[in-house]
Structure 1
């Protein structure tokens, strides 16, 4: 019986010696690793709080597997937003990438106001070269959109 107590006591000591790292410490290690990664010339345009998704997109851009589509707001008051999508992306994939871009930008600015994307897509559509991108399943390439082209929001007309 004394041997069992020793074994149990030994297990407790081992657990105390190597506690799992707290979430904050792991997050700090992760962020510092990403910060080092972002210093690479290929990834230097990315923000300090970069996401793995943004790193993958930047690498895909470098290898020609993705393209940047610049999206201008309807009032054209600010610079176009550089949204990265795969080369054979559809209009729907561009919309989702744009939503993610805006969400990340808002989180980094310190606030997370709610945007009703349902309202936005009901009220506006994207346009390229005077043509509205109304078919979500159609590929951007079919509309003639290439790397670094600019699309803009235009008001939908009621039927």
Structure 2
């Protein structure tokens, strides 16, 4: 014999369940005072980063581009320069996806042609600790074009001697 609760089971398709989940999460995030400013299509990683920021486990960094645009990046407090670069990549890719930009960024090219700079200091050592460099919460960083070394092949030959 089946109970009345079992007889009234409702079945949903995968797409219906996904939409129910999305709308429920959207309502929960919108009603939370700490997370209400996040975009409606926020990822779990972005929520975790914002919660870590609120609990003092991460820091927010403003990255200024040459065109005046500012990207907000959240990175762990004990992070290194390479962690910052990864956070920039994730943050920018997510922002471009939200804006509907289909263009793929070659991050290898970006890091080959640009440095990150903090208060005039070039961050060229990926293993350097952000705290040791002096980066703290709400710091401003900038992209700086890499200077091209002239006579690179001559320099390489002189180094072998």
Change in 2 beyond 3 A, CA 1:18/1:42: closer
Q: Partner of 1:77 in structure 2?
A: 68
How far the C-alpha of 1:112 sits from its partner, in A, is 2.0
Q: Is the 8 A contact 1:70 1:151 kept in 2?
A: yes
Does residue 27 in structure 1 map to residue 21 in structure 2?
no
TM-score, normalised by the number of residues in structure 2: 0.82
TM-score, normalised by the number of residues in structure 1: 0.83
Q: Partner of 1:36 in structure 2?
A: 27
Does residue 60 in structure 1 map to residue 52 in structure 2?
yes
Which consecutive residues of structure 2, in runs of 5 or more, have no partner in the other structure? 1-8, 150-161
Q: Is the 8 A contact 1:37 1:43 kept in 2?
A: no
Give the 5 Å matches for 1:110-129: 110-129=100-119
Which consecutive residues of structure 1, in runs of 5 or more, have no partner in the other structure? 1-16
Bigger mean CA offset, 107-116 vs 138-147: 107-116
Q: CA RMSD in A?
A: 1.7
Deviations 1:56-97 (A, max 9, x none): 111111110011011111x1422x211001111111111111
Please give the alpha-carbon distance, in whole angstroms, between the structure 2 residues aligned to 1:139 and 1:30.
39
Deviations 1:95-123 (A, max 9, x none): 11111111111111112211111111000
Deviations 1:36-64 (A, max 9, x none): 22211100121000100011111111110
Does residue 97 in structure 1 map to residue 87 in structure 2?
yes
Q: Partner of 2:125 in structure 1?
A: 135
Count of equivalent residues:
141
SS in 1 for 2:39: coil
Q: Which has the larger radius of gyration?
A: 1
